[in-house]
Amino acid sequence: MNVLIVYAHPEPHSLSGALKQVMVTQLTALGHQVQVSDLYAMNWKASLDAADFTRDRQGKPFDPAEDSKLGYEQGLQTPDITREQEKLRWADTVIFQFPLWWFSMPAIMKGWFERVYAYGFAYGVGEHSDSHWGDRYGEGNMTGKRAMLVVTAGGWESHYHPRGINGGIDDILFPIQHGMLWYPGFDVLPPHVIYRVHKMDDARFQVECEKLEARMNTLEQTAPLPFRRQNFGDYQIPSLILRPELAEGESGWRVHLQRQRKAARAG
């Protein structure tokens, strides 16, 4: 299996750096091919702007979507963007590892998505009609690939409980997992979150390494999150509202998960 790790932490000798190396070592020992995009080490440019494309706009103002579309189609993207797209094509599984900063990923990783996810590559694909609204949310160019998040957080696990002060971790990660991974077609594996990282002693570090190694061992077997597919009948098109008979009376991100039907009672 080909595994790409997209990693964002500015300090190579951090806990995050050590955890990254644990994943690389374990995956390599299992016989997988591994590439790492270490965004800070790469001095990755975070902002999407006109400098990302070599096309002559002939005095027209920069249009992020249009310039991205033409840049991708005509091979006018900067080489750093193209290299990351090639890594995504190569990968069977992509792991995004980052510390939770201000309830999201570091800006440098957000910029990776904004620049690498070109129009025609990760979005803006597929027909739009009365029955099909683009190849997205379970379809798209990343279909058949797996993705997961490895996240470190300073707060206690209880702080990220559904009734915790920070809000539930699933609520916080939903825009990333559903909107940035499921949207272009990745099968999204349950996240691996490590809490209270500033209180990490050697004994606990060893335990956390073993847990992370266990997740690496089962990357190919772990069932993905059962997000609903957009174009397979659960959503009304073109409104894209979930059909009223599904998760009736409910709202929020959990309605976008398929529910297992209860087995009929015998007799």
pLDDT of residue 230: 94
Give the residue numbers spanning the domain of 70.
2-225
For residue 49, is it within any domain?
A: yes
| CB neighbourhood size of 262 (10 A) | 6
For residue 82, is it within any domain?
A: yes
For residue 260, is it within any domain?
A: no
| DSSP per residue, 16-44 | HHHHHHHHHHHHHHTT-EEEEEETTTTT-
Coil, strand, or helix at residue 150?
A: strand
* Cβ-contact 188, 256 below 8 angstroms: no
For residue 66, is it within any domain?
A: yes
Question: Which CATH number belongs to the domain containing residue 156 in this structure?
Answer: 3.40.50.360
For residue 80, is it within any domain?
A: yes
Question: Which residues of the chain fall below pLDDT 50?
Answer: 261-267
For residue 197, is it within any domain?
A: yes
What pLDDT, in 10s, does the model give residues 116-135?
999 999 999 999 898 899 99
- H/E stretch holding 210: helix 202-217
pLDDT of residue 173: 97
For residue 185, is it within any domain?
A: yes
For residue 246, is it within any domain?
A: no
Look at the chain and report how many structural domains it folds into. 1
Rg value, the chain, Cα: 20
pLDDT of residue 266: 39
pLDDT of residue 210: 95
What pLDDT, in 10s, does the model give residues 35-88?
999 999 999 999 999 999 987 878 889 999 999 999 999 999 999 999 999 999
pLDDT of residue 182: 98
